[in-house]
Structure 1
Amino acid sequence: MLTTHLLGFPCLGSQRELDRAVAQYRRAELDEAGLMAVGRELRLRHWQWQHAAGLRFVSVGDFSYGDLVLDTAVLLGALPARFGFATQALSRAQYLELVHGNASLPGCEARRWFDTDHRYLQPEFDMASRFDGGPAWLLDELREARLAGFTPKVQLLGPLSLLKLARVAEVDALALLPRLVPAYVRLLKQLLAEGSEWVQLDEPILGQQLDATWLAAFAPVYRELAEAHPHILLASYFAEVGKHAGLLRSLPVAGLHIDLVSAPQQLAVFADWPQGKVLSVGVIDGRQVWKADLDAVLDRLTPLHSRLGEALWLAPSCSLRHVPPDLSQAGLAPQIQAGLSFARQKLAELSTLARALCLGRSVCFQALEANRAALSQFRAQADRNVAELIHAAASR
């Protein structure tokens, strides 16, 4: 069976349980043990959904009580110096001060996450930033997943994207690489020792305009990282990266993820991906709540699957944190649900695609037929809505 996996899952909960728990904790209505219990319950629920859908891995590292970009800096031990917190002894209460601020200091600045409506919290680095390691929260979640019987894939923001997105004072950002890369190497070795067979490193800046100095940094950085962990999946999303195809083919990583929703033309560029390396293709839209046209996706993937076989992995285009967790908990009318797919439902879409590619469309006849019927019903309803709007406008 083909490998299906995620680049991340929404962590708030179907009823925004995490938001409520964090708010209660900050008001001293919930203690830290209660806050951690809510997090564990949500992670377990989401891992169970991923496992039940047949995904090869559950996603670890996509859960945050604040912000994932800030979490990466915290994990590596580079906290905003203005707070004066000890890195390895950072408490959850102190972490939330980094997120929300305190009586005397504002929290980290919220910036737009590429071209999405989401925001990230900007890490703050300077020439004194040491990257000597922070709290072991990620390792704890990795152990938690393994103890629950799941096969984990850890995801992290890659080092070059972390530097590019951070606020760096007093020094050129790339000058911090000699300190930052050893921190990633140390962490990758820890993750491998703790049982993370694969690690996903996100480098979304590959879709941006990068000057020659930034592009030249990728090869030496990833040579060091690949020596620390044999199975790195380098992930790009939100944009076309075919212009860097030569660079990406040459990097000593075990796999590459590309976004075929935002940039479907990339399929032709990467169709000759080297044998022996994984090519993960993002074919389910991770930013929109609409059902995928599974027949159309299968038509595009069948030739690629014939060539790559099990080296082809299927995934959403990007992290699913951009969509709500579960349609069945949304309380929407059936006629509205017909054309919708939230995070949990996108897991089922991935499963259907993998089974149809491996076993044939006839094996998935009922699922594909239900997809066709739902899309037809949704389009018909949309046409009726448009006709009603045109008639109302003409009657004025």
Structure 2
Amino acid sequence: MASHIVGYPRVGPKRELKFALESFWDKKSSAEDLKKVAADLRASIWKQMADAGIKHIPSNTFSYYDQVLDTTAMLGAVPPRYGWSVGEIGFDVYFSMARGNASVPAMEMTKWFDTNYHYIVPELGPDVKFSYASHKAVEEFKEARALGVDTVPVLVGPVSYLLLSKPAKGVEKSFSLLSLIDKILPVYKEVVAELKAAGATWIQFDEPTLVLDLDAHQLEAFTHAYSALESSLAGLNVVIETYFADIPVAAYKTLTSLKGVAGYGFDLVRGTQTLDLIKGGFPSGKYLFAGVVDGRNIWANDLAASLSTLKALEGIVGKDKIVVSTSCSLLHTAVDLVNETKLDKEIKSWLAFAAQKIVEVNALAKALSGHKDEEFFSANAAAQASRKSSPRVTNEAVQKAAAALKSSEHRRATNVSARLDAQQKKLNLPSLPTTTIGSFPQTLELRRVRREYKAKKVSEEEYVKAIKEEINKVVKLQEELDIDVLVHGEPERNDMVEYFGEQLSGFAFTVNGWVQSYGSRCVKPPIIYGDVSRPKPMTVFWSSIAQSFTKRPMKGMLTGPVTILNWSFVRNDQPR
């Protein structure tokens, strides 16, 4: 019975890491205090997985900020502006790279593939001197071992690390990041040697760039890198993880031909065509880490459907070579459903956060080995059926309205020039009108008023009065600055997505469903569980008040539908 988790959220069930980090950054607590919180979180995660029966438990997926930044530290690839040259990289240099400091800016941050997580982009040039400068991967493996838990250390793979980097400022355009591969491999060899010496039997390389549209030169880098690592990896079981999408045919062939590799991990939730590739041919004697439990969304797994998929795959790769896994790291989902005390019972029965997904993975692995928990599977089937048939999910009026849409309705009835003329007659704007995007800073006082109103500590009348005063202040400021088209500053909004979701039907909200966006920044995505409709006007009240304070045009502010979709946990029972 083999089960595996690609990675796990590191913020803690109630954002313990966030508060520890911010306390440390504000100099309210020591480095030792921060390390203690981190160690406690790691220990509880490893114990949770071990107690659930997971066989391949990951280590080194915890991070104080970001796993790519951890790899930069491991490789000693610190940009010169941070003043580091030798020795183990400590918090001062590490957090300066992530956040900047009084004298130097932070490194660039960008989206991790198509998730809402952000990673710190390595800055590399031909003169970078790589050295083994952070022993975190080995230290965390030993830490877990001391607690009686054998783990699979996880490293960002060498090729993905380079492909996700950017050339440092001033480097010639012709410079190829992949030309650095032979310079970083010696450090990877040192890490692997230390992990072997510490007793590791498995090691996981995350190479998610394999799902991108890579050219022959980029694919050749994988072949080269793992050939060069082959002798170092001897005696270890190596799994290479891919995730977030289907793996293209050429990349699949490259991956499954790599030397010294024991198994391959695939996202079989988003990678629907990858199933066909596996069915068309899988290397004999290799392990398939089948990512059938969704690491990107919060819906309970359809256990019966997943078991059927796993049984079909078992027939191809062999009974003892299939490992039940998550589609990607659980970093991208909320931590634990247990902490949702206010969530509607019916909706709660349809959900699984990271802690519940561990249980699902193990239940599927047990069922595959002939030890099916009938009670657990029955409860799951009942929840799946309830979600399919619930009148709360399907709204006939919305269905009819959507079905009645014509393609002509996606185009305006008048052309741009006619609309511009009409707009200019009404608004009389200068040739280059000025405006701002919309939101003004949310002061502590504003947040206090909103919090107290929610907790029914201040009346609606007092709340409206406070928001009106803030809007009036923002309007006057813009008039003083001679802005042409004004905004009301959005003081009534808690979050640009949550605010609208709370006023729409088909949305549910959590209390502790936090997901890391970057560093200590967490977001709480709404859950879209049903057909969405708007029961009443949403912004008219505040926009009208704002317009009453000025003769200048006031913009109405709406978060767009694509942003709402991308920043929410969306339904998985229909296409996006």
Residue from 238, 249, 252 that aligns with 1:245: 252
* 1:182 aligned partner: 186
Superposition deviation, residue 382 in structure 1: 5.7
- Does the 8 Å contact 1:285/1:318 carry over to 2? yes
Which blocks of at least 5 consecutive residues in structure 2 are unaligned?
A: 401-504, 506-532, 537-576
**Counterparts of 2:160 and 2:84, CA distance in 1:** 24
- Structure 1 pair 388–355 and aligned structure 2 pair: CA distance change class (3 A): farther
Which SS does the other structure have where 1:146 is aligned?
helix
Matched to 1:227, the amino acid is S
Q: What is the number of residues matched between the two proteins?
A: 393
* 1:299 aligned partner: 308
**Counterparts of 2:391 and 2:85, CA distance in 1:** 55
* 1:267 aligned partner: 275
Which SS does the other structure have where 2:328 is aligned?
coil
Per mean C-alpha deviation after superposition, the further-off stretch among 244-253 and 345-354 is 244-253
Match status 1:257 vs 2:265: yes
**Counterparts of 2:40 and 2:376, CA distance in 1:** 30
* 1:31 aligned partner: 30
Structural mapping, 1:197-236, within 5 Å: 197-229=201-233, 230-236=236-242
Match status 1:353 vs 2:361: no
Give the TM-score, by structure 2 length: 0.66
* 2:351 aligned partner: 340
* 2:106 aligned partner: 107
Greater helix share, 1 or 2? 1
% identity of equivalent residues:
33
Listed one character per residue, the Cα deviations across residues 195-250 of structure 1 (whole Å, up to 9, x for unaligned) are 22111111111111112211111112101222212321111111111412322221
Superposition deviation, residue 93 in structure 1: 2.7
Matched to 2:290, the amino acid is V
Listed one character per residue, the Cα deviations across residues 47-96 of structure 1 (whole Å, up to 9, x for unaligned) are 11111111113211100111111111101211122211235332213211
Give the TM-score, by structure 1 length: 0.94
**Counterparts of 2:321 and 2:100, CA distance in 1:** 45
Matched to 2:89, the amino acid is L
**Counterparts of 2:140 and 2:397, CA distance in 1:** 51
Superposition deviation, residue 387 in structure 1: 4.3
Which SS does the other structure have where 2:77 is aligned?
coil
- Does the 8 Å contact 2:263/2:286 carry over to 1? yes
Superposition deviation, residue 138 in structure 1: 2.1
Per mean C-alpha deviation after superposition, the further-off stretch among 125-134 and 32-41 is 125-134
Residue from 279, 282, 286 that aligns with 2:295: 286
Which blocks of at least 5 consecutive residues in structure 1 are unaligned?
A: none
* 1:192 aligned partner: 196
Listed one character per residue, the Cα deviations across residues 148-183 of structure 1 (whole Å, up to 9, x for unaligned) are 000110111111110011122323201111101111
**Counterparts of 1:245 and 1:63, CA distance in 2:** 28
Superposition deviation, residue 386 in structure 1: 2.4
- Does the 8 Å contact 2:211/2:248 carry over to 1? no
Listed one character per residue, the Cα deviations across residues 125-152 of structure 1 (whole Å, up to 9, x for unaligned) are 1122122111222221111000000011
Rg larger for: 2
Listed one character per residue, the Cα deviations across residues 272-329 of structure 1 (whole Å, up to 9, x for unaligned) are 3222211111000100000111101111111222341111111100000000111101
- Structure 1 pair 25–217 and aligned structure 2 pair: CA distance change class (3 A): same
Residue from 364, 367, 371 that aligns with 2:376: 367
Per mean C-alpha deviation after superposition, the further-off stretch among 339-348 and 329-338 is 329-338
* 2:434 aligned partner: none
Per mean C-alpha deviation after superposition, the further-off stretch among 226-235 and 37-46 is 226-235
Bigger RCO (CA 8 Å, 6+ sep): 1
- Does the 8 Å contact 1:245/1:270 carry over to 2? no
How well do the aligned residues superpose, as a CA RMSD in angstroms? 2.0
**Counterparts of 2:86 and 2:157, CA distance in 1:** 20
